[in-house]
Amino acid sequence: MANDKKMVEDITSMEEDFAKWYTDIVKKAELIEYTSVKGCMVIRPYGYAIWENIQRILDGMFKETGHENVCMPMFIPESLLQKEKDHVEGFAPEVAWVTHGGSEKLEEKLCVRPTSETLFCEHYANIIHSHRDLPKLYNQWVSVVRWEKTTRPFLRSREFLWQEGHTIHATAEEAIIETEKMLNVYADFCEKYLAIPVVKGKKTESDKFAGAVSTYAIEALMHDGKALQAGTSHYFGDGFAKAFGIQYQSKENKLEYPHQTSWGMTTRLIGAIIMTHGDNNGLVLPPAVAPIQAVIIPVAQHKEGVLEKSEEVMNSLKAAGIRVKLDDSNNSAGWKYAEYEMKGVPVRIELGPRDIENNQCVIVTRHNREKTFVSLDNLAETIKAKLVEVNEGIYQKALENRENKTYTCTTIDEINAALTEKGDGFIKAMWCGDEECEDKVKEMTGAGSRCMPLEQEAIADTCVCCGKKAQHLVYWGKAY
C-alpha cells in the first residue's frame, strides 16, 4: 500500500501548481519523454495510442466529407516560401533551415515545413488547368517544425504531429463553405468524441493566419480558466493562387484564379484533454480516444477460478469491440487502482471470488469514482452504456467549468474585477473593431481576444474599451 500512496503524492495538486500538475501527469501517465533536443519529445506508446484514436476518427470524418489524403515533402526551398509576402513574414521567425547536404553547401537553403501551403500551391500550379480539375480536397497527416522559444509537452513543441487540410475551389463561395464546414467538423469532433465544449468563432484581423483572408477557430476553456485554441480553419481567397500563378480555364473559356482553404488540428488536443478532464489522481480520458476503455483488476487472483473468469470476461468484452485490458501482474490491487486512475482509464472492473460466486462484478467509473455492482450477464452492454455515461458526465463537468468561468463585462474595470475575484476565464465583452482597443484590453487586463463567436449577441451597445459603437461580441482570455 505504501506504493499506492507514493503514486498519488508524486503528482502536484492542480490547485497548488497547475503547470506542474500538467507536466507531472504527462510524465506519470507515460505519455511522453523528453529528448536531448529542446522542445522535441518522444510520444510514448500510451500517448501515441491516444493520438492514433484521434487520427482514426478525424480521418473518417475527413473522408466522409470527400477529402483524400496526400503526402507532401518536408522541405520548402527558400524562394518558394517567399512567394506569398504575408505568409513568409508570419513564419520566417520560427523556421528551421537546412543549409548542407552531407558536407556540401546547398545552392538554395531549404526550410523544414512549418506548414505546407506553399508546397500545395506549387503542386496545384502543376495539376490544375481547367475547371474540370477543381475542386481538390486534400489532407495530409505529417509532422511540422516551428522553432519555438518556450516549449511545453503537447501544447507547444518544436516538432509536432498534425493534419493539415488543403482545398482549392473554383469560386470564393465554395471555398468559404468548405472553411465553415471543416470548422463544424472540428467542433463536432471535440464535443462528441473528446467531450470538450468549444466556442466557434472568427479570429480578429491581427490574430488571423499569415496569408489568410479570414481565420476561424474553435476555442476551449481549460480547467484553470485559460483558453486553448483547439483547431483552426482558414479561407485564403485567391491570394495564394495569384502569388503562385495558379489559374484555370473556366466553362466560359476565361482564365480564372481559384480560391483556397486550409485547416489543421494537432497533438495539442492531447494537452486539451489533460487540462479539460484531468484531476488530482491523474488523467481522465474520453472513452472514444482512450487506448484502454475498461481495465479488469482481479481481486485475490491467486484464488481458484479468479484469473480464468477474468480472462473469460476480457474475451467477451473484446469480442463486443471494447478496448479492454486484464492486469494480472503481481502488483497489489491497490497499486493497480492508482495506476489506471493515473492513466485515465474510463471504467475499472473489479472481479474477486465472492463476485464470481454471485455472478457479478464491481465497476468504478474514473471521472466520479462511482462504484456499482453489476451482473456478469450482458456485461458488454452494461460497459458500453457506462462509457456513454462517462462521456456525458465529463462533457457536463467541462461545460459547467466553462459556464462558471465565463464572465460578461461591459468595462475594463469589470474585466479586471472578474479576473481578480473569480480567477481566469472567458470574458464576454463588446468591441468596436479597432485594433488599438484590442491591444489595450490585453495590455490592461492580460486577456487577449480569442474569437468573435459565430453566435453573436449584443450584451452592450458600446466598446468595452473606448465607449464607441460596438461592432462585435468578443471572447477574451489568457491563452495557452
Burial of 246 (0-12, 13-18, 19+ CB in 10 A): buried
Residue keyed to cell 518522444: 42
Q: How far apart are CA 69 and CA 162, in angstroms?
A: 13
Q: CB of residue 442 vs Zn ion: minimum separation in angstroms?
A: 13
Q: CB of residue 399 vs Zn ion: minimum separation in angstroms?
A: 31
Contact 226, 478 (CB under 8 A): yes
Of the pair 460, 466, the CB lying nearest Zn ion is at: 466
Q: CB of residue 22 vs Zn ion: minimum separation in angstroms?
A: 35
Per this entry, what is the length of the chain? Answer: 480
Of the pair 172, 466, the CB lying nearest Zn ion is at: 466
Read off φ and ψ for residue 223, nearest 5 degrees: -60, -30
Of the pair 247, 411, the CB lying nearest Zn ion is at: 411
Of the pair 353, 446, the CB lying nearest Zn ion is at: 446
Q: Interior CA angle at 366 toward 361 and 372, to 5°? A: 30
Q: CB of residue 72 vs Zn ion: minimum separation in angstroms?
A: 42
Q: How far apart are CA 166 and CA 87, in angstroms?
A: 15
How many CB atoms are located within 10 Å of the residue 444 CB?
13
Interface positions with Zn ion (CB under 5 A): 432, 434, 437, 463, 465-466
Of the pair 131, 468, the CB lying nearest Zn ion is at: 468
Contact 245, 223 (CB under 8 A): no
Q: How far apart are CA 40 and CA 61, in angstroms?
A: 29
Q: CB of residue 449 vs Zn ion: minimum separation in angstroms?
A: 12
Q: How far apart are CA 188 and CA 191, in angstroms?
A: 5
Q: CB of residue 444 vs Zn ion: minimum separation in angstroms?
A: 12
Of the pair 220, 465, the CB lying nearest Zn ion is at: 465
Residue keyed to cell 516560401: 81
DSSP of 350-381 = EE-HHHHHTTEEEEEETTTTEEEEEESTTHHH
Q: CB of residue 201 vs Zn ion: minimum separation in angstroms?
A: 18
Of the pair 270, 432, the CB lying nearest Zn ion is at: 432
Q: Interior CA angle at 392 toward 391 and 398, to 5°? A: 90
SS3 state of residue 465: coil
Of the pair 454, 466, the CB lying nearest Zn ion is at: 466
Write the CB contacts of 160 (distance below 8 Å, at least 6 apart in sequence).
143, 144, 146, 154, 266, 267, 268
Residue keyed to cell 510524465: 27
Of the pair 306, 474, the CB lying nearest Zn ion is at: 474
